[in-house]
Homo-oligomer: A and B are copies of this chain.
Amino acid sequence: MKNVLTWIIQEEQFAPEQMQYYETIFTLGNGYLGTRGTLEENYRLRKPGTYIAGLFDEAPNEVTELPNAPDWVSIELELAGERFDLEKGNILAYQRSLDLKQGILRRDLRWESPQGRITKLSYQRFVSMKDQHLMGIRVSITPENYNGTIKVVSVLNGQVTNEGTQHFKAVEECTFGERGIYLINETYQSEHILAMAASHQVKGKLINENFFNRRRLVGYQAQLAGETDQTLIFDKLVTIYTSRDLDGPVPATHLEKMEKVKALALGENLGAAIQGFDTHLAAHVQAWADLWLKADILIEGDDFAQKAIRFANFHLIQMAPKHDYRVSIAAKGLTGEGYRGHVFWDTEIFMLPFFIYTFPEVARNLLMYRYHTLPGALKKAKENGYEGAMYAWESADTGEETTPKYGGLDLKTRKPVRIWCGELEQHISADVPYAVWHYYQATGDWDFLVNYGAEIICQTARFWASRAEYAPEDDCYEINNVMGPDEYSEFVNNNYFTNAMAQWTLRKGLEVYALLEEKGKAEALTAKIGLKKEELANWRIVAEKMRLRRINDLVLLQFDGFLQQKEVDLSAYRHNPDAFFKDFSWEQITSTQVLKQPDVIMLLYLLGDQYTLEEKIANWEFYEPKTLHHSSLGPAIHAVFATEIGQNEAAYRYFLDAAEIDLNNKLRNSEAGLHAATQGGIWQAVVNGFGGVRLKDGGLQIAPSLPEHWKKVSFHLIYQAVPLRITVTNEQVELEVLVKEFRPLTIGLCGRTITLTPEQASLRVPMPKAGLS
């Protein structure tokens, strides 16, 4: 039973005020699209959201974003003349649950109407993991103490917006087939066509039925004969296609294109309706079963942690563009409108590790997105007077910069805060090549490196070489006027994180070039991007002479002048960042020693090889107390890092902080969408943190150290295309290869170097005593 519950996320009581929060965490998706867990019937705070990966549109005066597609989940009920409304009457039983194992959102309830009619209602919803264009809802209705007409009204509602911004031109609202309705929409600026179709099936006595349209909306209405204790079933199967799905010969005219998209949506829907709801639900459940075989992580002795890691992996899988190498994962995935569907370093640094080691083909797609958006990055560099590729801090379909220029009102000045991240947070151009190399190291995907990855690494190295400024007085290179990961510090010089990551990129550029040269592949790249020998020599010099200042022997200086900033005692604000914003204006905040999120610590995690344990501990002691964690990115990274320096209690505390961000709405902003990076961070906290997994010196190292009360952790890793299972208990660590044929694999396990071969495909070593707190 306990095991079952760790697969279930529940809303125990109907919580109308938390409606938008539950919509986010109950989002269903399949990488192609995501649909918020919006209730079928309307409420004051109901905020439906369906977002299609890669389908961007740019409204005048706004940054491009993922348009909110028409609401397909809307189903209103009228039970013997009374509208079904959980805010009225009495709720006799209620349970809404997201089944992580099967990918089903269920709602089961008994409701007594204001006039005393009792009805049992059961809802099931899926967004097919088998067929990315298909979704379904089943409503089961059982009158318990009355006979009467049950009216069901199902609509496709294109009146929804992105907080008031409408991206779609309404083209058509009509009916098809026996009980089908459909909408055709087209985005205003990007001219993507979207076709959405819904068919309906009814089990029960149909009294009459009807179709209707209103502006941007089309609906089907059925009146059924409700009888005591007889269950009526209403199925709605929905298909969605867009012009992005078209392949083959390009249609001659726009109208033909539209007809083609429409034919896809209606055609598939007609077929799906014949096969029926059960068939598609079963295929969807099977698809999830197959995914969990690869992705599930077992944690024994900590049900909350068990649930948290499953929740994290579930959502990461739902966001994964397994079908499309032209898109990446947004900061909120496809769960809400926060950050407008834009892609940040969140993908490469926080989420990518999960995919590299679990679904490497998805990781490849995610990096291919950065390859396909190189033109945008080249353009941004050029516009700013630099060479190579300067990636956008916020990236959408073209790779051009899409960070909005202004944010919320400064509570002190009452004016909107200027957002400088798009201009200043340049470390993204080191984070991307870092991720490319990480993927290559772990997978050995030479094809990717040669054809795509090397180009990303060399173009970003090129950028940094042009970006660094020579300071003749010290014969060194500086990078001035940037923002590091800590976004409370704008226009800083020589942010250690940025400089060190730039240095890493330059060196990796040289290394990759040498590797290509060795394999006779350098010339093609040199020709393609016009790389010159002098440039390579310059990379070496800039990397060599990069300004990297320290506060003392051990502690790295976050940026020039950091120590001159005002110190603030954070104890009062740690659990109430809002108070911090009331007490300090934005201008004041940017001149304190307060960190929004890890900066130096982040570097020490990413480039852990280059720093000693002593350095890591010293920097933790200096920077950890200064970090407000007014970002969802920090806690999980602090958790991993704490395990590295033997602070398992702190690690566990930070792990809980991360897990609670969405599961308990800790930052009180989950309604705008899930913190996708946090989910990736939770995976890292478990696998890289407590599981102790690292790629060091080019090799896989595993050195687990579990929280004291954890009894067992078991997870999967795909390394060099070989699937492994690692099972950790307090006594031993077991390593198994899950395929029969593979090339011998050398791995560091708890300090020993072991080699797995087809003859010895599994191994156990005792858990070392040291390192556990």
Contact = CB atoms under 8 A, between A and B. Distances in A.
Interface string A41-66: 01110000000000000011110000
A563 interface: no
Given A211-B411, A212-B408, A411-B210, A166 B161 contact: yes
Interface in A165-214: 165-166, 169-171, 173-175, 188, 210-214
Contacts of A414: 174-175, 211
A83 B17 CA distance: 10
A164 interface: yes
A216 interface: yes
Contacts of A211: 409, 411, 414
A650 to B, nearest CB: 35
B175 A164 contact: no
A709 to B, nearest CB: 37
Nearest to A59: B169
A171 B61 contact: yes
A415 interface: yes
Nearest to A165: B166
B163 A216 contact: yes
Contacts of A210: 411
Contacts of A62: 169-170
A418 to B, nearest CB: 13
Contacts of A159: 161, 163-164
Interface in A204-243: 210-218
A87 interface: yes
A416 B174 contact: yes
Nearest to A172: B416
A453 interface: no
A214 B163 contact: yes
Contacts of A88: 87
Nearest to A220: B414
A319 interface: no
A160 interface: yes
Nearest to A210: B411
A158 interface: yes
Contact of A216 (B43, B60, B165, B188): B165
Contact of A215 (B60, B158, B163, B217): B163
Contacts of A160: 164
Contacts of A214: 163, 408
Given A159-B163, A161-B159, A216-B164, A169 B408 contact: no
Nearest to A157: B164
A18 to B, nearest CB: 13
A506 to B, nearest CB: 40
A77 B43 CA distance: 19
A169 B411 CA distance: 25
Contacts of A215: 162-165
A169 B60 contact: yes
Given A160-B164, A215-B164, A169 B61 contact: yes
| Residue with the greatest number of chain B CB neighbours at <10 A, chosen from A165, A175, A216 | A165
A464 B60 CA distance: 44
Contacts of A408: 212-214
Contact of A60 (B42, B188, B213, B416): B188
Given A174-B415, A212-B409, A415-B174, A166 B164 contact: yes
Contacts of A163: 159, 214-216
9 contacts: A44-B44, A62-B169, A158-B164, A163-B216, A164-B217, A165-B170, A165-B216, A166-B166, A175-B414
Given A61-B171, A165-B166, 17 more contacts: A60-B188, A62-B170, A87-B87, A87-B88, A159-B163, A159-B164, A161-B164, A163-B214, A163-B216, A164-B166, A166-B166, A173-B416, A175-B409, A175-B414, A210-B411, A212-B409, A213-B409
Q: Considering the complex of A and B, which 6 residue pairs feature the smallest CB-CB distances, nearest first? A: A159-B164, A175-B414, A166-B166, A164-B216, A163-B215, A61-B169
